[in-house]
Structure 1
Amino acid sequence: MYLDSRKSLEIDQMLKEFDGFNLVVHNCLINSYLEWGNVSEARKVFDEMPERNAVSWTSFVSGLLKHGNVDEAMSYFGRNPFSDVFSWTATINGLVQNRLSFEAMRLYKKMAVYGIMPNDVTFTCILRACGELGDFELGKSVMGSSIKVGFEDNLSISNSLVTFFLRLGEIDFARRTFDQMKEKNVISWTAILDMYVEMGDLEEAHRIFEEMPERNEVSWSAIIARFSQSGNVEEAVKLFQQMVKDRFKPNVSCYSSVISALASLEALPGGRTIHARVLKIGMERNVFVGTSLVDLYCKCKSTKDGRVVFDSIPEKNVVCWNSIVSGYSLNGQLGEAKELFNRIPKRNNISWNSLIAGYLGIENFSNALEVFDGMILSGEQPNKSTFSSVLRACASLPSLEKGKYAHAKALKLGFQHDIFVGTALVDMYAKSGSVESSKTIFNRMATKNEVVWTAMIQGLAENGFAEESLSLFEEMEHASSVAPNGLILLSVLFACSHCGLVDRGLKYFNSMEKVYGIMPNERHYTCVVDMLARSGRLREAEKFITDMPYEPEANALAALLNGCKIYGDEILAERIAEKLTGRAETKTGGYVLLSNVYASGGKWGDVLSTRNMINQKGMKRSGGCSRIEVRNEEHLFYSQDETHSQSKEIYWVLQLINSEI
């Protein structure tokens, strides 16, 4: 009792009362010293003992192995006069725990030479060694040996066999062994449950779970964790509630999983309830539970609460730091994210990716690329996610030179065959105007999913290669297993709109629901309006808007108004402009387009009155911005902008071009 409680004064007093040597007491002392990590004191007691029994030797050898003193342990094992199955089994188990499975197998074979019959624990240990070595045939041989000595129905050996087969991916053998077991316990059921969970067959896992005659915290945690990780978060929460109702005590893994599930659902009230439970049992300072809580609060846009939890965790790991940085980034609080990022003791690529993603989220593409440059200089190796984000930033700027630099880095790291990086490259080159490079990447990709097909079809359409874009869509329909989706058909409609193929575009639109089983959304309707308006079919476009099952987007009205400008239909333009500006009184788009319609018809009085109306309503006209990159330097230009250092030269060249025109 005093040894278990580590009461040193009481232990010393008791030892004095024994007044001499007592074998049982000294064995207890050896065990306790080894348990406390005091190997030297345990060795001293063992060496000074005038008498030792089998327990003394076995306890001391296995204790040395537990602390990694393998050579010393084997030396004592060789001198052990009590050579029985317990001492051999304890030593084999110690070697397996030290990941010395080959040495454990050699010792197991020596047992037969010395005529020592293995027991059920020996076979359990040696099957674990076979699993570590990944040797299927050796495992089957051990199974045969266990049957020969009469252990075919032994529960612990059967459980070890199931685990062994699962570890080597032999699912059929594992299931067959499980089904043939005459007796099963919670370990057996949990092992087979985890098998289906690992396979992703959650339906079968749930069925097995319901069949289990008894459950423990491990089986509950396994199924809750897997449902949460697989995205079936509602079911994970329900299972947790049932677990609590059945009076099981959730462990750290269980709390982390259910909090992650609630974070995915953005269920803040439920998350606060779990947080209260965690506080009650004193688990809030655990880094895994705390990190999940940080993630929950940040995903629910409560970064203030997330920061309080973060600050309360005494020992933070890199996952915890990444969680708070990612949380601030996700909520657009890049100042706080950058400040914490700079304080991370040891960053990994997820740390850098979180900051890059944050700048992408607020469309600060230049800063995203600056963080990427810093990542390269730090020596941290980017991963596939990094390149997908960076290439997206390059595509949005667009910045062909930086995109080529990122492409070169991706090639150097061997990511050229990754489908996500490939898709980002196709999109980046297309958006940067380098269509041939985009096509080259696309054609080299061994596997193509719907996202990369969409990127290429859209890229061709946006760069004016409408016919080629439509041909590629037809090739995808006939030569690939990818089914058209809403985004791909939006790109197809865009292509038809920009090359004047109105009837063909209408045919695709009318086929969406009938042929492809896709319900058109507001963006598809807007694209059709734009297509009709560009071709001068203005009344048809107006009727199409009236018959829409949705409230028309502002972009649909703007597209028709733009058509009115091109074809000089002032009456329709006035009608559409009123609708457009009525939907958003603070936006000037409708009035500006109407002003342009009047200007194209030479009605300058109406232009002036429209612009006066904008001023009277207190609206602000946002200036159009152009962005170009010359020799890795970015230049921004606004309408009538004279802030650029070379603005005089630029306007002089512009005047020269105008005069030549």
Structure 2
Amino acid sequence: MRSAVKSLLVPNPAANFEAYVSKCLSLFKTTTIARGTVLHGHLIKTGTSSERYISVKLLIMYLTGRKPVEAHQVAKEFDRFDLVVHNCFINANIQSGELDKARKVFDEMPERNEVSWTSLLSGFMKSGRVDESLWYFRRNPFQNVVSWTAVISGFVQNGLMLEALSMFLELCESEIRPNEVTFTSVLKACSETGEFMLGMSLLGLIIKTGNEHKLSVSNSLITLFLRMGETDSSRRVFDSMAKRDVVSWTAILDMYVENGDLVEARRIFDEMPQRNEVSWSAMISRYSQSGHPEEALSLFHKMVREGKLINVSCLSSVINALTTVKALQSGMNIHGHTVKIGMERDVYISSSLIDLYCKCGQTNEGRLLFDSVAEKNVVTWNSMIGGYGFNGQMEEANSLFEAMPSPNSVSWSALITGYLDNKQFDKVFDLFNQMLLFGERPNKSTFSSLLCACATTASLEKGKNIHGKAIKLGIQSDVFVGTALTDMYAKSGDVEGACRVFNRMPQRNEFTWTVMIQGLAESGFAMEALKLFDEMDSRTPPNDLMLSSVFFACSHSGLVNRGLQYFRTFETKMNGSHYTCLVDMLSRAGRLEEAEDLIESMPVEPEPNALAALLSGCQRHKNEELAERTAKKLWRAAERDSGGYVILSNLYASAGRWKDVLEVRKLMKEKGLKKNGGCSWIELKNQVHSFHSGDGAHSQSIKIYGVLKLLMYEMVPV
């Protein structure tokens, strides 16, 4: 500060007053309130503090620094009313949120200019007092583009998009020309309301007024085109910009992120000269959501190293990525980091951490965190309920659900999903009925869980009832509900019903195609499944389950050559389960040597099921030598699996090699292996009854076995 004051001694106030004042004004631009006070003292000594330009700067300095006593002292030095001084007081009161004081100053002013009116109406808009702002606007005698734009921008800031557009149309009827800020606000309103035709009609006016190359206008045009789905137009605007800022880059980055083109999005991200927390968060979130948690974590570590500000959205995405890869220790480190930066109290961060602990099997840690959250929201409760369900702790999940103050449809769905995952199907349906009795509207996730339970238990009647409820709620056309309905009908044996739902769906995704192809294949409609696959292939790349269904269809219909043709086409996409399907296909057709060669030449380790499929083929086609070789490999690959032993035992029995049968059974007994019991179920009066081989757990088992003995007696020939 001494050097600053010393520099004022260079231009002599008496000899060169203009240079002295200019020097003072430049110092006010960079000084702090403390240094400015010292400078004020120097100006008083030199007798120049009362000069109007300097006094105004002193007043602004004290008002900005929240020094009202000093500010009023400076204001007293003005011997009469000064319009600039009063405008400074209006702005200072608006900045501090004291709008009524600002209005009082305004109302007491003997005269006002356009700055006075615009400052006041803009201040009311920024504080959400829209009606009062509009009152002053309508009475403003200095209506110019600045005041019009202040109102239009204020409407947009308060979410009143239609009012902003209406005000803009009123502006167009006047002779006032919109400016850059006006167009920026109006384009945003068009984007938010979907008034794309109005937005497009602005292009000519933007060009006519020479605003087409203004940075904020170009950014708004990019956003408008993106909302319209015109990605090429967005890119053209971006490429034509002579100057771009972080908003421009982030907008075009969002375009590729939303389209799922992570390669191009990452290229744009790496090219960005400047990145903000939005661009970092967009990339990290998309990597996490798209099944690339490692990339999300790598980018997050880079973000931390560069010292970037981490927001809630970014941190939640990182925790979700850690949850996906079950990285408990890294998650605990992130938990510590949130405590360090004071974000552990955020309900969304804490909810994500609860989910992380629970998905890693640490429900006790999750519950400790849950109990420590002072202000829980519904997301926090749902995370803990879902965590208990994920770990099979349904008593705890149900107890917490009952203690929940205001459960929503997601809460009900979380509990229903927990019972579904733990195969407590009766509870699933009971809970759904309770949900309806409480007047809670089921969501898409709820219906998907219910239909999955119906498909698993082949409860066609229950599935049809749920289908009816989905129609009543108007969500049967939703792609997820439609896919679940298709799967339910197919797995319940009603292939025609599955086809009807599938054909009526207005939109399908890869999972929809998969369940339909799988349903046809498993129901014996192999040719129809392959025909549907060939129709789909050109527009949707096949996923793993879809390819497995195709090979299953070829295997069970004897279409070996066609199956091999699909293998050659999709060889690069093949995984272990696909090779198992191919081995099964060749083994069923009796091409056992080819199946064995395929196992030996696999680029991946053969699954035990592949060896079991070959062994089953050996049994079917009576190839004992190959069966023995395969059985030994299977025993090494799946030492605790009884399947291979059972197949080889049956093969020996069919060949009359009873000594070998006894030897295999002896090996099974020594290893403590047992053949898995069969299971069947029936649905009677909306209740599913399950039966296991040799199981007498059913409440009516004595009567059932009594009827069975009677039937067996009747079946014995006389």
Alpha-carbon distance between aligned partners in 1 of 2:83 and 2:97, rounded to the nearest angstrom: 21
1:405 equivalent to 2:490? Answer: no
Task: Give the direction of change, closer, same or farther, for the CA distance of 1:62–1:407 in structure 2 (3 Å limit).
Answer: same
The amino acid that maps onto 2:320 is S
Aligned residues of 2:355 and 2:366 also touching (Cα < 8 A): yes
Tell me whether 257-266 or 386-395 shows the greater mean CA deviation.
257-266
Q: CA deviation at 1:632?
A: 1.3
Q: Deviations over 1:183-202 (max 9, x none)?
A: 33333333333333334343
Match of 2:690 among 624, 636, 650: 636
The 2-side partners of 1:48 and 1:291 are apart by 53
Task: Confirm whether residue 182 of structure 1 aligns to residue 242 of structure 2.
Answer: yes
Which of 553, 568, 592 is the matching residue for 1:514? 568
Q: How many matched pairs?
A: 649
Per-residue deviation, 1:83: 4.2
Name the residue aligned to 2:422. 362
1:274 aligns with 2:274: no
- For residue 629 of structure 1, report the CA deviation from its aligned partner: 1.8
Tell me the TM-score normalised to structure 1 length: 0.78
Contact 2:457–2:688 (Cα < 8 Å) also in 1 = no
In structure 2, C-alpha distance between the alignment counterparts of 1:420 and 1:333, rounded to whole Å: 27
SS at match of 2:134: helix
Q: C-alpha displacement at 1:394, in angstroms?
A: 0.9
Asked if the contact 1:360/1:389 (under 8 Å) is kept, the reply is: yes
Gaps of 5+ in 2: 1-32, 34-61
Distance 1:343 1:53, change over 3 A: farther
Q: Structure 1 601/299 Cα, relative in aligned 2: closer, same or farther at 3 Å?
A: same
Partner of 2:29: none
CA offset digits 1:418-437 (Å, max 9, x no partner)? 45434433432343333443
Percent identity, aligned pairs only? 53
SS in 1 for 2:308: coil
1:18 Cα shift? 7.6
* Unaligned 5+ runs, structure 1: none
1:310–1:34 CA distance, 2 compared to 1 (3 A):
farther
On the 8 A contact 2:226/2:234 being kept in 1, the answer is yes
Residue in 2 aligned with 1:244? 304
Quote the residue 2:455 is aligned against.
Answer: 395
After superposition, give the CA deviation of every residue in 1:140-182 in whole Å (9 maximum; x if it has no partner). 6655555555555543444444444444444444434433333
Matched letter for residue 259 of structure 1: I
Cα distance in 2 for residues equivalent to 1:202 and 1:484: 20
CA distance in 1 between partners of 2:207 and 2:510 (Å) = 53
Kindly indicate whether the alpha-carbon contact (under 8 Å) linking 1:484 and 1:516 is maintained by their aligned counterparts in 2.
Answer: no
Cα distance in 2 for partners of 1:114, 1:560 equals 84
Match of 1:471 in 2: 527
Question: Is 1:658 matched with 2:697?
Answer: no
Match of 2:413 among 353, 356, 366: 353
Which 10-residue stretch deviates more, 364-373 or 77-86?
Answer: 77-86
Aligned pairs for 1:99-110 within 5 A? 99-105=159-165, 107-108=167-168
Distance 1:78 1:580 in 2: 87
Moved more, 546-555 or 134-143: 546-555
Distance 2:188 2:546 in 1: 51
1:601 CA displacement: 9.9
Equivalents in 2 of 1:447, 1:144: separation in Å?
A: 37
Partner residue, 1:283: 343
5 Å-filtered alignment, 1:116-265, equals 118-132=178-192, 134-136=194-196, 138-139=198-199, 142=202, 144-145=204-205, 147-149=207-209, 151=211, 153-265=213-325
User: Would the aligned equivalents of 1:525 and 1:548 in 2 still touch at CA under 8 Å?
Assistant: no
Indicate if the aligned counterparts of 2:285 and 2:318 stay in contact, CA closer than 8 A. yes
Code of the aligned partner of 2:312: V
Q: Is the 8 A contact 2:619 2:651 kept in 1?
A: yes
RMSD: 4.8
Q: Deviations over 1:32-72 (max 9, x none)?
A: 66566665565556556666555443333223223433333
User: CA separation in 1, counterparts of 2:645 and 2:542?
Assistant: 38
Q: Which residue of 1 aligns with 2:391?
A: 331
Query: More deviation in 516-525 or 53-62?
Result: 516-525
**1:394 is matched by which residue type in structure 2?**
C
State the alpha-carbon separation in 2 of the partners of residues 383 and 538 from structure 1: 50
Structure 2: distance between partners of 1:182 and 1:560: 66
CA deviation after TM superposition for structure 1 residue 132, in Å: 4.4
CA-CA distance at 1:388 after TM superposition = 2.7
Q: Which moved more, 1:603-612 or 1:111-120?
A: 603-612
Distance in 2 (CA, whole Å) between partners of 1:52 and 1:578 is 99
8 Å contact kept, 2:517–2:532: no
Per-residue deviation, 1:16: 9.7
CA positional deviation for 1:557: 6.9
Task: Please show how residues 25-174 of structure 1 align to structure 2 within 5 Å.
Answer: 43=103, 46-47=106-107, 54-105=114-165, 107-108=167-168, 118-132=178-192, 134-136=194-196, 138-139=198-199, 142=202, 144-145=204-205, 147-149=207-209, 151=211, 153-174=213-234
Q: Distance in 2 between matches of 1:546 and 1:197?
A: 41
Q: State how far apart, in whole Å, the 1-side matches of 2:712 and 2:360 are.
A: 54
Please state how far the C-alpha of 1:631 moved relative to its aligned partner.
0.7
> What does the per-residue CA deviation read over 1:354-384, in whole Å, with 9 as the maximum and x for residues that have no partner?
3333233233333233333333333333344
| Of 543-552 and 175-184, the range deviating more from structure 2 | 543-552
Paired residue type of 1:261: A
Distance 2:174 2:518 in 1: 75
CA distance in 1 between partners of 2:574 and 2:217 (Å): 59
1:433 to 450, 475, 493: 493
Q: Which amino acid aligns with 2:473?
A: L
Query: Bigger CA drift: 429-438 or 605-614?
Result: 605-614
Secondary structure of 1:628 counterpart: strand
Q: Which moved more, 1:242-251 or 1:280-289?
A: 242-251
**Residue 703 (structure 2) aligned to one of 649, 652, 655:** 649
Which one is further off, 438-447 or 622-631?
Answer: 438-447
Contact 2:592–2:618 (Cα < 8 Å) also in 1: no
Deviation at 1:598, TM superposition (A): 9.2
Q: Deviations over 1:292-324 (max 9, x none)?
A: 333443444444444444444443333333333
User: 3-state SS of the aligned residue for 1:58?
Assistant: helix
* AA aligned opposite 1:249: L
**Largest Rg, 1 or 2:** 2
Whole-Å Cα distance in 2 between the matches of residues 645 and 523 of structure 1? 40
TM (norm. structure 2) is 0.73
Q: 1:627 aligns to what SS in structure 2?
A: strand
Which amino acid in structure 2 is aligned with residue 658 of structure 1?
M
CA distance in 1, matches of 2:172, 2:617: 92
Which amino acid letter does the alignment assign opposite residue 238 of structure 1? S
Contact (CA 8 Å) 1:388, 1:424: kept in 2 or not?
yes
Deviates more, 1:607-616 or 1:378-387: 607-616
2:377 to 289, 303, 317: 317
Indicate conservation of the 8 Å contact 1:395/1:432, yes or no.
yes
The 2-side partners of 1:590 and 1:110 are apart by 82
Distance between the aligned counterparts of 1:619 and 1:352, measured in 2? Answer: 41
Structure 2 contact 451–466 (Cα < 8 Å) conserved? yes
